[in-house]
């Protein structure tokens, strides 16, 4: 297996072999899950098989994460540059892009051409939409890079979930404002995922548009100019939708709507768990401190990380946004999520359970230690949170079960 | 003309070249970039964080 040799500060040579090298192909294969359900339906005729990916993601993946546990290994700093530049890893992210189009076309054509019940068509749309959520993940990895090919591929793949404004909002808005009350994509303590979604959906569109409009204004161009990066991606979405509707008929309208809503919901779920309650301090000059690893919730669960191009090593990603997925690092004493993303999403969907588990974890973090002034709190929940956790009533929280 | 580098990701703002994509014409001094300018590549460092290249 390919290895990398670096020189330690003492002059000693160090050899590193990436044991996850071939396992990253899981991130490539993951978007093809709907075809597994389709194959089983085709051979048995039982429509329930079409929903298999829901079971794989929300039933099986949390258990696999629990069983396989965490991977805290880091590539040594001395070889990170070589690992980053190894073209193998980025090629995997290139290969996924056409697979997302194939999955959308494949599920859409199956839904339209097979003799399926109405609920099976919608079920297949949900499954396809969950997969398209992974397209946002691929677009995320690609959209952060500074090469033209990766920026282009990000725009292409984000057309599948109709989320062409993602790269601008995420890179230029979310990363700038992360873990502050100003960020529409950072959830606040006491805010349920449903309340968060109502703030995040429109907020992301408006912020992306405003950032892109400012750029085009500086170039003396109208915001509707073809150079608008958001419109470029959305134009491809329009072509996809019109083409599918033309080819497969009106069934495509509910199919694509459900597909798109579920894709967006995947992103909302990720955004919700990634920065819950975390807050960057304001410095004396009025600027926020730079984003440190402890301003993001992290997960080292190996299985779901391998399925998501290391997205869950989110702390290092926000501290170093251009770092490639294969090089992202684990740090000790970080805010840690209780499971991989799929299991954590399930927790988030039940707000009382989420608050019960996560509020204690949040307040127990070493940089917070129960100090509510260091927490990003939902203004509507402020008084109840202070009543419950206010300093005078505060017992020193303990980080149980981690 | 001077050049300024992002200490996080290495993005270089060269006053001679400006940054056409971002809408800063060649010859735009670093000082006249907007006060809320953040690094066009990583966005996690702002104008005040940029370092002048020797």
Spans of all domains in chain A: 21-70+86-393
In degrees to the nearest 10, what's the CA dihedral of A140, A77, A342, A64?
140
**pLDDT tens digits along A165-178:** 999 999 999 999 99
Residue A263 has pLDDT above 80, yes or no: yes
What local confidence, expressed as pLDDT, does residue A402 receive?
A: 41
Query: What angle is formed at CA A277 by the lines to CA A275 and CA A279, rounded to 5 degrees?
Result: 85
Q: Provide the pLDDT for residue A397.
A: 52
Reply yes or no on whether the pLDDT at A398 is more than 70.
no
* pTM (predicted TM-score): 0.94
pLDDT, position A25: 94
Beta bridge partners of A17: A3
**Residue A401 pLDDT > 50:** no
Q: What is the mean pLDDT of residues A269-277?
A: 98
Q: pLDDT-based confidence at A396, cuts 50/70/90?
A: low
Is the predicted pLDDT of residue A3 greater than 90, yes or no?
Answer: no
What part of B 19-38 touches A (C-beta under 8 Å)? Answer: 20-24, 38
A217 in contact with B, Cβ within 8 Å = yes
A148's tokens:
């033209």
**Confidence check: pLDDT of A393 > 60:** no
Q: What's the domain range around B31?
A: 1-54
Total domains present in chain B: 1
Over residues A240-269, the mean pLDDT reads: 97
DSSP result, A75-143: --HHHHHHHHH-HHHHHHHHHHHHHHHHHHHHHHHHHHHS---HHHHHHHHHHHHHHHHHHHHHHHHHH
pLDDT band at A27 (very low <50, low <70, confident <90, very high): very high
Q: Which candidate from A146, A287, A319 shows the least CB-CB separation from B41? A: A146
pLDDT, mean of residues A209-234: 97
CATH code of residue B45:
2.20.28.10
B1-54 tens-digit pLDDT = 799 999 999 999 999 999 999 999 999 999 999 999 999 999 999 999 999 997
pLDDT digits (tens, 9 = 90+) for A93-130: 999 999 999 999 999 999 999 999 999 999 999 999 99
Residue A260's pLDDT is what? 97
Burial of A333 (0-12, 13-18, 19+ CB in 10 A): exposed
Contacts of residue B22 in chain A, CB cutoff 8 Å?
Answer: 215, 218
Interface test with chain B among A144, A147, A167, A176, by most B beta carbons within 10 Å: A176
Chains A, B: CB pairs < 8 Å: 42
Of B8, B24, B38, the CB nearest to A320: B8
Complex prediction ipTM: 0.96
pLDDT at residue A373 above 60?
yes
Between A215, A287, A322, which is nearest B22 by CB? A215
Task: Tell me what pLDDT residue A136 has.
Answer: 97
Predicted confidence (pLDDT) at residue A324 exceeds the cutoff of 50: yes
């Amino acid at each position: 297996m390919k290895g990398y040799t670096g020189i330690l500060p003492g002059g000693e040579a160090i050899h590193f072999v990436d044991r996850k090298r071939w396992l990253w192909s899981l991130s490539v294969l993951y978007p093809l899950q709907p075809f597994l359900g389709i194959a089983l339906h085709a051979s048995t005729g039982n429509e329930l098989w079409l929903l298999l990916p829901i079971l794989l993601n929300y039933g099986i993946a949390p258990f696999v994460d629990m069983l396989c546990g965490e991977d805290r290994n880091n590539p040594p700093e001395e070889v990170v540059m070589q690992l980053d530049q190894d073209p193998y890893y980025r090629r995997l992210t290139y290969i996924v892009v056409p697979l997302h189009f194939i999955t959308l076309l494949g599920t859409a054509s199956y839904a339209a051409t097979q003799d399926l019940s109405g609920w099976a068509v919608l079920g297949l749309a949900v499954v396809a939409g969950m997969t398209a959520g992974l397209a946002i993940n691929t677009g995320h990895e690609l959209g952060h890079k500074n090469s033209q090919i990766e920026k282009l591929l990000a725009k292409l793949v984000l057309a599948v979930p109709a989320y062409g404004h993602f790269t601008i909002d995420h890179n230029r808005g979310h990363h700038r404002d992360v873990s502050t009350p100003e960020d529409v994509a950072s959830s606040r303590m006491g805010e349920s995922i449903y309340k968060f979604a109502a703030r995040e959906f429109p907020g992301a569109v408006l912020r992306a548009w405003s950032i892109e409009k400012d750029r085009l204004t500086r170039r003396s161009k109208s915001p509707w100019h073809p150079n608008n990066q958001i419109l470029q991606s959305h134009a491809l979405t329009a072509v996809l939708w019109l083409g599918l509707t033309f080819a497969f008929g009106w069934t495509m309208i509910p199919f694509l709507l459900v597909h798109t809503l579920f894709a967006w919901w995947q992103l909302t779920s990720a955004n919700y768990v990634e920065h819950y309650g975390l807050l960057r301090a304001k410095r004396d000059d009025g600027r926020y401190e730079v984003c440190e690893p402890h301003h993001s919730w992290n997960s080292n669960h190996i299985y779901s990380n391998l399925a998501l191009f290391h997205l869950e090593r989110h702390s290092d990603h926000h501290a170093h946004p251009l770092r490639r997925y294969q090089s992202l690092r684990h740090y000790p004493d970080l805010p840690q999520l209780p499971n991989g993303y799929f299991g954590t999403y399930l927790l988030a969907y039940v707000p009382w359970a989420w608050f019960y588990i996560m509020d204690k974890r949040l307040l127990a973090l070493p940089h917070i230690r129960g100090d509510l002034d260091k927490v990003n709190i939902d203004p509507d929940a402020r008084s109840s949170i202070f009543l419950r956790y206010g300093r005078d009533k505060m017992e020193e929280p303990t980080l149980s079960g981690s | 003309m001077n050049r300024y580098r992002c200490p996080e990701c290495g993005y270089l703002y060269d006053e001679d070249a400006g940054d056409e994509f971002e809408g800063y014409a060649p010859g735009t001094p670093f000082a006249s970039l907007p006060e809320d300018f953040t690094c066009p590549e990583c966005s996690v460092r702002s104008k005040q964080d940029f370092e002048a290249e020797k």
